[in-house]
Structures are given as C-alpha cells and as structure tokens.
Amino acid sequence: MILLGGIDLSVGPLISLVTCIVSYLAVNETGASLGLGIAASLGAGLIVGLLNALLILRFRIPDLIATLATYSIVLGAALTVRPSPGGMVSDLFLNVFDSSFGGIPAAALVVLALTIVFEVLLVRGRLGQRLYATGSSEEASFVVGIRIGVVRAGAYVACALTAALAGLLIAAKIGSGDPQSGSAFTLTSITAVVIGGANLFGGRGTAIGALFGAIAVGLMQNALNLMHVSAYYQYVWAGALTLIAVVGYALRRPSSARA
C-alpha cells in the first residue's frame, strides 16, 4: 500500500479480530478445528481487503477515509465476537504457529523467506514494475497499459491477508483472543515501513527495508520496555519517528517536486 502512495488503517483491528476468531474456532486438538480457524481468519482478511478495494476504487473514497471507516467496522466486529480478552487456543494451534527450529522461531524463518520472495518480485519481477510505476505516476502507468485498478485492488487484498496472518501469530503468542491485541500495530506497521526507507507518497520502498524497519521498531520498543517507559509514551515515540522520517524525505525532495 505504501508503494502505491496509499494507506491502510484497518490493519490493527483486523489482527485483533483474527485473534478473537481463532479463540472460538481453533480450540479443539483436531486438524479440522485448526483448519477452520485458519480458513475463517484468512476469509476475514479477504473480506476486509475486498471491502477496502470496493470503497476506494468503486466509490472513489480516499484511502484515509475508507480505511478509517473499515477500522471502526472491524474493531466493532472484534468487540462483538469477544467483548473482553478470553478464550484459549488449542495446543495444536500453538505448535503450528509458535514452534521453533534450533532455537529460531519458525515464524521468523517464514518472514525471512517471504521477504526474500517479495524482494525478488519487486526488484526483478513484473509485480514490482507495476507497483513502482503506479505509485510514481498513475497517469503514466495507465498510458503504458498497466491496469491500475487491478494493481491497487491486489495491494489492498494482499495487505489484509498478511495482516490476518500476523493475527494468527499474535493469537499463538497470547494464547487467547483479545479485541485490543492489534491496536498498536496500525501505527507501528506504518512506522516500520517508513523507517525502512519507503516513501509515503509512493514509488519508493523495498521488502528488505521494511523488514529492517520492523526489526528497528521492535528493538526500540524492547529498549523502552527495559527502561520502564510507559506504553503511552511509546505511542508518542513511534509517532515522532514516523513524522521525522516523512519530514526528512520531504525536505530532501527538490523544491519543484514539493511545490
């Protein structure tokens, strides 16, 4: 989404909704229960992604307004499914999503593999060409034959599906459902991408940069926790970092481009 100059504010509530869903469905030690929980979570992500695409592309609602609306809708759905933290996911679910190999979390290995795949697709594949071109100039992309609507819709859906995957990992970490568990990820996901070198105006960014940005944000949060800094001040710090990164890029742009 950032590569396209867009934004998705529904990421955090979607993560919360997924933890609530699996806390009801993935509770039995059977493959059917596990599969049902995963399928329902990914289905929720697909619905949210398609809803965002519909609002933005069909009804021409700006990204910020449309995803702010879905933010409220999805948060309400999460609170409806589970008004307060509770429930318990099965040990089978924990073994699948919170396992490790040689002391290295399996989730970290999967994230590393996905990052490499996405980086290759961005740098070497047609997917990257379409994303960078559309983010840089939709008019020029349309002229050369790029289906802008398809590219943007695919980005919204991909963003929501990966947020749903993140929700599965968070559910495995906390072992239950929590309608507020993803609230912090809306801002930190944007902060991580911007710190990783992406341009909020679109057209610039890499998967490797986003990964390093996420690691930097994680290290920063761990350091603040070790220093016993209040979680409220951590929100201030994350917002300040995002603002500094955006302002720094804006000042580096030529004056004609800023105008």
Q: DSSP letters along 98-155, please?
A: S-EETTEEHHHHHHHHHHHHHHHHHHHSHHHHHHHHHHH-HHHHHHTT--HHHHHHHH
pLDDT for residue 256: 47
Instruction: Using alpha carbons, select from 78, 59, 72, 66 the residue that is nearest to residue 21.
Output: 78
Q: What pTM was estimated for this model as a whole?
A: 0.92
Rounded Cα distance, 55 and 76, in Å: 18
Residues forming beta bridges with residue 100, ordered by sequence position: 105
Q: Are 13 and 75 in contact (CB under 8 A)?
A: yes
Pull the structure tokens for residue 104.
């290295």
Q: Are 160 and 17 in contact (CB under 8 A)?
A: no
pLDDT for residue 253: 65
Rounded Cα distance, 122 and 118, in Å: 6
Pull the structure tokens for residue 71.
């933010």
In order along its 259 residues, the chain shows pLDDT tens digits of: 999 999 999 999 999 999 999 999 999 999 999 999 999 999 999 999 999 999 999 999 999 999 999 999 999 999 999 999 999 999 999 999 988 888 899 999 999 999 999 999 999 889 999 999 999 999 999 999 999 999 999 999 999 999 999 999 999 999 999 999 998 899 889 999 999 999 888 899 999 999 999 999 999 889 988 998 887 788 888 888 888 877 877 777 665 454 4
Q: Are 61 and 70 in contact (CB under 8 A)?
A: no
Report the amino acid identity of residue 162: T
pLDDT for residue 236: 86
Rounded Cα distance, 150 and 152, in Å: 6
Residue 236 burial class via C-beta count within 10 angstroms: exposed 0-12, middle 13-18, buried 19 and up: exposed
